[in-house]
Amino acid sequence: MSLIDDLTKQSEKYQKQLQGLNIATLSFIVSDRTRALEYAKKGIQEVEPENLTDEYVETVADEMQRVAKMFWEEKIK
């Protein structure tokens, strides 16, 4: 299974985690790459520890920042 397939499979779990975050935390994820990487690593460790590689953490952080921005924009409306 490819990296993208793995990410797509887990996407709903990460989206549920992001939906529960407050505006301030979402803002940190959107604007702070280091924070996004930390959250991605933590999420991977909880959901799929067998995939904990630097490349996967980077990919998940990218997706988290993209989705977090969408949730953040929705919450500030």
Q: Which two tokens stand for residue 66?
A: 């993209």
pTM: 0.74
Q: Which residues contact 69 (CB under 8 A, 6 or more apart)?
A: 26, 30
pLDDT of residue 21: 83
Q: Which of 4-8, 19-23, 33-37, 73-77 has the highest mean pLDDT?
A: 33-37
- Taking CB atoms within 8 Å and a gap of at least 24, the contacts of 43-49 are 43/13, 43/14, 43/17, 47/10, 47/13, 47/14, 48/6, 48/10
Which residue from 17, 25, 19, 67 is spatially nearest to 44, judged by alpha carbons?
Answer: 17
pLDDT of residue 50: 93
For the segment 11-65, what is each residue's pLDDT rounded down to a tens digit? 677 777 778 888 888 888 899 999 999 988 998 898 889 989 999 999 989 988 9
pLDDT of residue 5: 62
